[in-house]
Amino acid sequence: MSVLLLGGNGFIGSHLAERLRDAGHAVTVLDPRPMRGDVDWHGIDYRCAPVDDAGALDAALAACDTVVHLAHTTVPATANADPARDVSTNLVGTLRVIEAMRRRGRRRIVYLSSGGTVYGDPGEAPVAETCPLRPIGSYGIVKAAIEHYLGMYAQAGDLAPLVLRPSNVYGPRQRPGAQGIVAAA
| 22: helix, strand or coil | helix
Q: Rounded to an integer, what is the distance from CA 114 to the centroid of its chain?
A: 10
Distance CA 104, CA 91 (A): 20
Cis? peptide before 126, omega within 30° of 0: yes
**Catalytic pick among 139, 149, 153, 170:** 139
139 is catalytic: yes
The angle formed by the CA atoms of residues 157, 162 and 167, to the nearest 5 degrees, is 155
Catalytic residues: 139
